[in-house]
Structure 1
Amino acid sequence: MLTLMHLVSAVALLVWGTHIVRTGVLRVYGARLRRWLGGRMNRVVAFGAGTGVTALVQSSNATALLASGFVADGLMPLATALAILLGADLGTALMARVLTLDLSWLSPLLVIVGVPLFLSRKQSRAGQLGRVALGLGLILMALEQIITAMGPITEARGVQVLFASLTGDLLLDALVGALFTLITWSSLAAVLLTATLAATDVLSLPVALSLVVGANVGSGLLALMNTSLHNVAGRRVALGNLLFKLLGLALVLPLIPLLAQRMPALPFDNQDLVIGFHVAYNGLRCVLFLALTGPMARLTRRLMPDRPDGADDRARPRHLDPDALDTPRLALANATREVLRMGDTVETMLDAIVEALRNERVGSDRDLGALDDELDELYTGIKLYLARVSRAQLQESDRRRWSQVVEMSINLEQAGDQMEHMMEKVRDRKTARRRSFSDSGLQELIDLHGLLKANLRLGLSVFLSGDEESARQLLMEKNRFRARQRQLSHAHLERLHRKVVESIETSSLHLELIGDMKRLNSLFCAVAFTALEGLEDEGDRRGRPAPQ
């Protein structure tokens, strides 16, 4: 029993070591790796980029997430992303080769250097590199412990029977390899474990080779699971990657009995044979399929088509036409339409808040969390779309408009976050605790909410038209709102003085909601300042008096 616990702990240490190496590299070089992968590249360069990035982070799944995210945001062609993932498969195979070299002298050195460096300088780059060194040391140490623990285990009759049951069906063995990857959440850990078991003669060579092929399929399943929250475009990357792995399995699995007969003649032990097969298999498969990334991209589009317009998710941007990017003014108009959609969502969220103030329960159809997610989706689409607009081609007035669109989308996204927090306060302190506002207090909040909603509509009008009179009216309404907010705060304090029970129970919530509405009002009215600044700059440029 104790030996089994040592084995399980060594496997857990192996998984943990790969995890902290991956996170350490991403924290230090994550931004550079994203820029590297996000650049324009052909299939061969993309293949090399995927190999290099995966060799650094020791996880093809991390590379898959990055590439899928780029495709989901429209920043990378699907065929290029598939080439990156083919390179990622080769990168993780090469790292498996490196980690199975005789590096027993290196593991204690890496741990001795990594631990004090990480603990003393956690937030610095040197500290994160110490984290990477520590992770590599743990991986090598875990492999040694697995070999040591497997000695007595292999002598057990039950274990021998268990692993002997894997020798009859190669497809079943591949399925077990895929399960190994899903359990350890890392194809690298699964392959290293398989090679180690083969080295101790726990696994026969045909079984080990089948497990390796299955581990590759398991990594494709992991990528598909990890990208489940992406849009359809992003999920196609993982689907294409999985289809490539399944096609490779179908091609190589019938050859495994022949390979298992010929490979023992090579002057290597079983561990080196398994790892060598892993590298050769992924190298040949990936190079062969690199020419098929285009057809695979077309196939995945057929298997996973875009949703019809009528069935599209409400949050998905509708007007950000990539073909309009060559005409900056048209692109700005498209982005403006999406900002107005954000405004409609914010208004819906405001209505949900006032409904929560009036009622004890709020229906799930008015869930602000989902609405805030819609806002985030629209904001991300607008931001990435405008980032692709060449500002060098914009005239001065268009540059100001570009800035206005960006600032308005930021303000509305922040307003969504603020309202989500407001709803949490209402549910936690009012609805959950069955407390109610006083009649006068509730009416005051509803009145202030009405002013806030009116200012949102006026702010969207100013954003759309840039009208000077409307902008000045919005500033007047902002001042009026602030005066009303101060008046209502004083009125609430007066009710506390009169010891109104409902006001005492909801006092902190009442004052916090008033303060939250004040901040929302500032976000809605900020567009007036940018509109007036633009008019003043235009007046200066034309040599006429600035608006007073």
Structure 2
Amino acid sequence: MHFLAGLALFLLGLHLISEALAGWRGRRVLLSRGLGSPAGSLVYGLALGALSGSGSGLGLLALALLEVGVLTHAQAALLALAATAGAGVWVGLLAVAREGVQEALLVLGLFLYLVAAWRRWGFFFLGLGLLLLGFAEMGRGLDPVLALAREVRGLGTGYLVGLFLGGLMGSANAVAALALLLVGELAPGVAAAMVLGAGVGTTSTFFWAALGGRGEAWRLGIPLFLHRLLVSGFLLPLVWIIPENILAWHLLGHLLYTLLYWPLSGVWGRVAQGIFPKRKVVPKYLRSEALDSPLLALALARRELSRVADTVRSMLVQSVRVLSQEEGREASLQEQEEKVDALTRELVLYTSELARRTGDERAVRLFVAASELERLGDLVRRVVRQAERLWSQGLRFSPEGKEDLLLAASRVLSRLERLGAALATGERALAKEVLGEEGGEFFQGLKRAHLRRLEAGLAQTRASTLAHLDILLTLEEIDQGVARLAQLVLEL
């Protein structure tokens, strides 16, 4: 029981350290700088892993950023690998910690926790103290584990045990801590083999996410698993060289996983695409044979148009989320915008052919509506581009300015949702409802509010004024585009 209780304290300590540093503003700066290139993902991933102690947590963050299009496959993989390598430095603390240090850290954490302004650092030192205390407790309760561990013979068996434990706990650091305790009790090289196996096993974090319905986790997890498996297979025979240095193998293994992935990222990306290919965006409703039946062709084109409108709405939802969290990039909208562009292209060709055959003015209106929606998608992307440009300069919107922008975006989103419903159902009352809302005075009020903040000399308002006004004007353009589309719906 001592061993399991110690393991629980160890994992809880890692979790508290990670949570304490999660809200650190410098973490966001490091992350944003790491999103620009594979090299950035590698360098800043190492730094973030070392600061947070949670390679698995940052791996899931990399997956989330891949899912929304902020990171490419190579960048997400490098960020996940580098973060795990960086987090390995926390195992080094176990090798140098002295008796009694954990109590001092826990007492310090308790006092800091009692002061609200310092509470985050309280969690940090409490986590660090629990990390060391857990390791000590694991050592005191090691006897039952030793009986099982001595049965582990051979590098291959040790590797498989590490693979299983790493997959079960999702923490290479926890297995490395166990290996540090066992190294003198096992045959030479077995503890080091456990560490190498654990590095491969921690990929289970992505597999659990995939089983939860996150399909992109398969595309990221499978290449990472195969890469780690391949590299560790080459390293395993070499553990005879320095079989007792667990910390060296723990850090070296994860560092090599990271550095060797970079030149191979293109290969692994193709492997992921080959195993789990992404479906090409194609029209769902347009059929060439329906062009011989104009009424059917018009109905199908209208249904496809509502699909484009729904994608533009999703882009706007994502942009509102980016503005609200003040975190994200224009690239997060790329996949959705490509879908809008692809479907619009097909719609334009389809409706132009229908207009040529029938001369029906409704086909022309659908042609215009498709082009308008494509333009709205470009404008939504511009909103995020302007915000991203501001944040890259280290600036932020004032709380009042941010609230106004979110208010404007929410209004546009509400109108766009009703427009999409009107396109899908043919409900003219919804289109009339959109047209009945006058947007000019609403946006003028927001502009006047911004001017008052400028006149008051608010520093954040002055620093962000150009980006604020550009986004506000862009949202007003989107709002006007929605009104034009509502008018076209009434004319269909």
* Structure 2 match to 1:428: none
| 1:323-346 CA distance string (max 9 Å, x none) | x99xx9x979959x99xxxxxxxx
* Structure 1 match to 2:10: 14
* Structure 1 match to 2:74: 79
Instruction: Please report the RMSD computed on the Cα atoms of aligned residues, expressed in angstroms.
Output: 4.5
- Deviation of 1:172 after TM superposition, in Å, equals 3.5
Is 1:139 matched with 2:134?
no
| 1:284-320 CA distance string (max 9 Å, x none) | 33222321112211221111111355799x9997568
* Structure 2 match to 1:188: 173
Q: For 1:334 and 1:405, locate their aligned partners in 2 and report how far apart those are by CA, in whole Å.
A: 20
SS in 2 for 1:18: helix
* Structure 2 match to 1:127: 119
224, 246, 263: which is aligned to 1:274?
246
| Pairs within 5 Å for 1:21-100 | 21-29=17-25, 32=28, 35-36=31-32, 39-41=35-37, 43-100=38-95
Q: For 2:431 and 2:12, locate their aligned partners in 1 and report how far apart those are by CA, in whole Å.
A: 50
- Deviation of 1:91 after TM superposition, in Å, equals 0.7
- Pair 389,138 (structure 1): closer, same or farther in 2 beyond 3 Å: closer
**1:59/1:188 contact within 8 Å kept:** no
**1:36/1:49 contact within 8 Å kept:** no
- Pair 291,333 (structure 1): closer, same or farther in 2 beyond 3 Å: closer
Q: Which moved more, 1:401-410 or 1:211-220?
A: 401-410
194, 200, 206: which is aligned to 1:211?
194
- Deviation of 1:274 after TM superposition, in Å, equals 1.0
Q: For 1:333 and 1:298, locate their aligned partners in 2 and report how far apart those are by CA, in whole Å.
A: 21
* Structure 2 match to 1:458: 429
- Pair 301,387 (structure 1): closer, same or farther in 2 beyond 3 Å: farther
- Pair 32,402 (structure 1): closer, same or farther in 2 beyond 3 Å: closer
Is 1:163 matched with 2:149?
yes
SS in 1 for 2:141: helix
| Counterpart AA for 1:294 | G
* Structure 1 match to 2:242: 263
- Pair 48,391 (structure 1): closer, same or farther in 2 beyond 3 Å: closer
Q: For 1:67 and 1:228, locate their aligned partners in 2 and report how far apart those are by CA, in whole Å.
A: 17
- Deviation of 1:96 after TM superposition, in Å, equals 1.8
Pairs aligned (count): 351
- Pair 534,205 (structure 1): closer, same or farther in 2 beyond 3 Å: same
Q: For 1:139 and 1:222, locate their aligned partners in 2 and report how far apart those are by CA, in whole Å.
A: 21
| Counterpart AA for 1:147 | G
- Deviation of 1:405 after TM superposition, in Å, equals 6.2
* Structure 2 match to 1:197: 182
| Counterpart AA for 1:137 | G
399, 406, 413: which is aligned to 1:409?
413
Is 1:179 matched with 2:164?
yes
- Deviation of 1:106 after TM superposition, in Å, equals 3.0
Is 1:286 matched with 2:248?
no
- Pair 534,36 (structure 1): closer, same or farther in 2 beyond 3 Å: closer
Q: For 1:65 and 1:79, locate their aligned partners in 2 and report how far apart those are by CA, in whole Å.
A: 15
- Pair 210,89 (structure 1): closer, same or farther in 2 beyond 3 Å: same
Q: Which moved more, 1:298-307 or 1:176-185?
A: 176-185
- Pair 115,391 (structure 1): closer, same or farther in 2 beyond 3 Å: closer
Q: For 1:31 and 1:221, locate their aligned partners in 2 and report how far apart those are by CA, in whole Å.
A: 25
Q: Which moved more, 1:278-287 or 1:51-60?
A: 278-287
SS in 2 for 1:165: coil
- Pair 120,471 (structure 1): closer, same or farther in 2 beyond 3 Å: closer
Q: For 1:302 and 1:25, locate their aligned partners in 2 and report how far apart those are by CA, in whole Å.
A: 38
**1:21/1:131 contact within 8 Å kept:** yes
| Counterpart AA for 1:167 | R
SS in 1 for 2:186: coil
Q: For 1:50 and 1:250, locate their aligned partners in 2 and report how far apart those are by CA, in whole Å.
A: 24
Q: For 2:76 and 2:338, locate their aligned partners in 1 and report how far apart those are by CA, in whole Å.
A: 29
SS in 2 for 1:205: coil
- Pair 402,95 (structure 1): closer, same or farther in 2 beyond 3 Å: closer
* Structure 2 match to 1:305: 277
Is 1:240 matched with 2:226?
no
- Pair 301,135 (structure 1): closer, same or farther in 2 beyond 3 Å: same
TM-score for both structures, normalised by structure 1: 0.54
**2:200/2:225 contact within 8 Å kept:** yes
SS in 2 for 1:166: coil
- Deviation of 1:114 after TM superposition, in Å, equals 0.5
Q: For 1:69 and 1:36, locate their aligned partners in 2 and report how far apart those are by CA, in whole Å.
A: 14
- Deviation of 1:59 after TM superposition, in Å, equals 1.4
TM-score for both structures, normalised by structure 2: 0.60
- Pair 392,210 (structure 1): closer, same or farther in 2 beyond 3 Å: closer
Q: For 1:333 and 1:309, locate their aligned partners in 2 and report how far apart those are by CA, in whole Å.
A: 6
Unpaired runs of 5+ residues, structure 1, are 265-269, 339-380, 394-399, 415-453, 473-529, 536-548
**1:14/1:142 contact within 8 Å kept:** yes
Q: For 2:218 and 2:407, locate their aligned partners in 1 and report how far apart those are by CA, in whole Å.
A: 32
Taking only the aligned residue pairs, the percentage that are identical comes to: 20
SS in 2 for 1:204: coil
Q: For 1:457 and 1:401, locate their aligned partners in 2 and report how far apart those are by CA, in whole Å.
A: 29
97, 109, 114: which is aligned to 2:109?
114
SS in 2 for 1:283: helix
| 1:77-111 CA distance string (max 9 Å, x none) | 11122221231232122222233223435322211
| Pairs within 5 Å for 1:322-471 | 334=340, 385=381, 387-390=383-386, 406-409=410-413, 458-460=429-431, 462-463=433-434, 467=435, 470-471=436-437
SS in 1 for 2:279: coil
- Deviation of 1:403 after TM superposition, in Å, equals 8.4
**1:13/1:139 contact within 8 Å kept:** yes
SS in 2 for 1:76: coil
**2:59/2:81 contact within 8 Å kept:** no
